[in-house]
Amino acid sequence: METVIDRAIGGHDPDNRIWGPLSASEFLIVVHDVTTWALSNFQCFHARPEAEDLPTGVRIAADFYFTMMPRHLPTFASESDVRTLRKTAEPGLRAAALWWAEALLGKQESYKMVETVHPPARQWRLLKRRPPTGLYWLLQQMNAWPRRYINKQCIDLGSILSLYH
């Protein structure tokens, strides 16, 4: 993930077979939005961000890389409450946010040696039980993403949000 980001910063488009139809600058916007979502608490109470709540199979398999000091973030009240990679110094939390970006955006899960699960199906599995406020925030961010990318690589977050109504 870091290599693809580094290359995108250098102006090289990511491989569209893995990451979908994105230019380098579009890829960086999408990764920024997903990592910001993973690092922010979108609950109405003090809670841990998604980056601290990795799926059990990931945490067990790679606990060394994701070791972090658990902490509860303040409640979400406005756009100023979002945390970016740039605002996050803790390596374990940064690694976890990058894992979320790779798991949600990339063609295959690198931590599994089983069949490839394409992004829309994997996104459904990983996002279906996440707080609706955070999903709504991510949906708003997706409005700035290229339509061709969303149509090919993303689930309709509205379908998950409709489960809450």
Q: What is the pTM of this model?
A: 0.84
Q: Would you state the pLDDT for residue 81?
A: 79
Q: pLDDT, tens digit, for every residue of 50-92? A: 887 766 556 555 555 555 566 677 788 766 678 898 988 888 8
- Complete DSSP assignment for the chain: -HHHHHHHHTTPPPPHHHH-S--HHHHHHHHHHHHHHHHS--SSSSB--GGGS--HHHHHHTTTTT-----PBPPP-SGGG---STT---HHHHHHHHHHHHHHHSSS-TT--S----HHHHHHHHHTTS-HHHHHHHHHHHTTS-HHHHHHH---HHHHHGGG-
Mean pLDDT of the residues in the chain: 83
Mean pLDDT calculated for residue range 152-163: 87
Q: Name the more confident of 112 and 116.
A: 116
Domain extent, residue 41, equals: 2-164
Q: Is the pLDDT of residue 158 over 70?
A: yes
What is the number of structural domains in the chain? Answer: 1
Q: pLDDT, tens digit, for every residue of 19-61? A: 999 999 999 999 999 999 999 988 888 888 888 776 655 655 5
